[in-house]
Amino acid sequence: MRYTKARQKKNTIWWGTFLSLLVFLGLYIFQVHHMTSSAYTLSSLETALEEQKETNKNLNLSHPSGNSFENLAELAKQQNFEKVRNISYVQLLEGPVARSVLPNE
């Protein structure tokens, strides 16, 4: 049985429409999958960010503010440290203070 040209054209249009719908359905499924995975990743990153913020807040609270460089001079006075006024070095008249000794072979 031979198809007429009109029937062949109609058949071609039908198959083209069917294949286009399949392609669009596949793209839709791909996009939904991608959006879902992106939302899950974003959610887990937001959770990690909140945990990091909480950790940072705890670290800032536990940081000892008394040991900063701003209070170093006052801390030195409390420990009875004095400023160095004169520096003198010990001179050795003989050779080096330490020698390397190789084990007997």
In a domain, residue 31? The reply is yes
| Total number of domains in the chain | 1
In a domain, residue 96? The reply is no
In a domain, residue 27? The reply is yes
Domain span including residue 28: 5-78
Closest CA to 54 of 46, 44, 65, 43: 46
In a domain, residue 88? The reply is no
In a domain, residue 87? The reply is no
In a domain, residue 37? The reply is yes
pLDDT tens by residue, 6-58: 888 889 999 999 999 999 999 999 999 999 999 999 999 999 999 999 998 88
In a domain, residue 30? The reply is yes
State if pTM tops 0.75. Answer: no
pLDDT tens by residue, 76-102: 888 888 888 888 887 777 777 776 777
Question: What's residue 27's pLDDT?
Answer: 97
In a domain, residue 65? The reply is yes
Could you give the C-alpha distances from 104 to 6, 96, 99, 101, in angstroms and in order? 108, 22, 15, 9
